[in-house]
Amino acid sequence: MDKMKALVFKDVGNIGMEYIPIPHVKECDDVLLKVKKVGICGSDIKIIEGKHHFKPNTVLGHEFCGEVVEIGSSVRHLKIGDRVAIDNNIRCGFCSFCRMGLTSQCVEIKFNALGVMRDGGYAEYCLVPEKQCYPLPDEIDDTLGSQVETLATVVNGMNTLQMLPYDYVMVLGFGPIGYLFAQFAKNIAAKVAVTEIDPFRIQVAKECGLTVWNPNEVDVVEKITDFTYGRKADIVVEATGNALETALKCVTPGGKVLPFGMDSSIQTTVVPNEITRWATKILGLYLGQNTMVPSIRIFQENRLNMKPFFTKTISLEEGLSAFECLGLDMQTLQHKPKSAMKIVMTP
Ligand SMILES: [Zn+2]
Ligand SMILES: [Zn+2]
């Protein structure tokens, strides 16, 4: 049997290169992709740490694009050779959430996400249902094509926020998600500031021409108050998963807080009366939702400065070093300073 290279997540703290059988079309709506590029996501790091739901012995990688090399008998919309971006979250289409348009809450979504619960893109080939594939125009190269799903989550956030041209925006955490929100805010809002503790990422924020504060060094509540002439932020995007309390202190009365970062190990205290008194809108949301096509459009028209976003491209074999660059010590599973924003692999 033909084998392929794959980075297999064995169990918490244990991920490594293996040679596994190349999958082939089984279901009539299957498409086999030759993976062109796959991004490493913060949630992949969380899976390795055991801080995100996971399934042992799975090929990770949910941010990817590829070329169609095999199609099932009922595939009608794709042909061999098509280049497609992937929505890794397979929605059933039958539950009441799906049928009422809230597909991010599909009751089956957590059981079959590609690259989390079933084999994903950290491999030379990946089996994908046809309906998860989105054809890519020529203007979007493979590197950018790998990030359509990432952008789709942020576009869902933008739809929820309804950002206005006179908004003051604050983004807590300047990882890839904070980066994308800040780029939108730079295009749309009156003013934007970001926070970040990691020196490498602070540098990237500066390179993007953004105002950036390190919450370990300055009082960010004071900073946002001065920055907005005493008003505070109309919109606070919390893109770290651990700073909701700070977000609530930085938002203006009537303003919106978007808790976007995910860390299931964090608990926090809120004062319900303050949310009522200050009319704060806390807007939860999850994944992308009908936002793959909008994201392709945004990338096709080059609407965001994506240059400093991509730190480097590496091979699958070098994958373990990438987790180190993204701040995870693979020996101890302790955090260390990061030296990357987005790393993309070529299988
Ligand atoms: Zn991701
Ligand atoms: Zn569903």
151-164 per-position pLDDT tens digit: 999 999 999 999 99
Ligand approaching nearest to the C-alpha of 43: 1
pLDDT score for 105: 96
Phi, psi of 311 (to 5 degrees): -75, -50
Q: 0.85 exceeded by the pTM?
A: yes
pLDDT at 11: 95
Tell me the CA–centroid distance for residue 160 and ligand 2, in Å: 20
Closest CA to 33 of 60, 70, 75: 70
Query: Considering every ligand atom, which ligand is closest to the CA of 147?
Result: 1
Q: Quick one: tokens of 258?
A: 């978007």
> What pLDDT does 270 receive?
92
List CB contacts of 312: < 8 A, sequence separation 6 or more: 340, 343, 344
CB 90 within 8 A of CB 108: yes
Q: Over range 117-146, report the average pLDDT.
A: 98
Q: Does the pLDDT of residue 51 top 90, yes or no? A: no
SS3 content of the chain, % helix, strand, coil (to 5): 30, 30, 40
| Ligand with the closest atom to the CA of 289 | 2
Rounded distance from Cα 8 to ligand 2 centre (Å): 28
Question: Cα(295) to centroid of ligand 2, in Å?
Answer: 22
Q: How confident is the model at residue 205 (pLDDT cuts 50, 70, 90)?
A: very high
Instruction: Calculate how far, in angstroms, residue 171's C-alpha sits from the geometric centre of ligand 1.
Output: 18
pLDDT digits (tens, 9 = 90+) for 11-42: 999 999 999 999 999 999 999 999 999 999 99
Rounded Cα gap, residues 190 and 169, in angstroms: 8
Average pLDDT rounded to a whole number, residues 244-265: 94
Q: How far is the CA of 279 from the centre of ligand 1 (A)?
A: 31
What average pLDDT score do residues 170-194 get?
Answer: 98
Give every CB contact of residue 135 below 8 A, 6+ residues apart in sequence: 78, 82, 83, 84
- pLDDT band at residue 262, thresholds of 50, 70 and 90? confident
Which numbered ligand comes closest to the C-alpha of 104? 2
Q: Which ligand is nearest to the CA of 94?
A: 2
Interatomic CA distance for residues 339 and 201, integer angstroms: 8
Closest ligand to residue 342's CA: 1
Q: Tell me the angle at which helices 176-188 and 148-161 cross, rounded to the nearest 10 degrees.
A: 50
- Chain mean pLDDT for the chain: 96
The whole-angstrom separation of Cα 128 and Cα 36 is 14
Distance 118 CA to ligand 2 centre (A): 17
Q: How confident is the model at residue 263 (pLDDT cuts 50, 70, 90)?
A: confident
Q: Which ligand is nearest to the CA of 44?
A: 1
Instruction: Report d(CA 248, CA 256) in Å as an integer.
Output: 9
CA of 62 to the centre of ligand 1 (A): 6
Query: If we measure between CA atoms, which residue out of 231, 224, 225, 280 comes closest to residue 256?
Result: 280
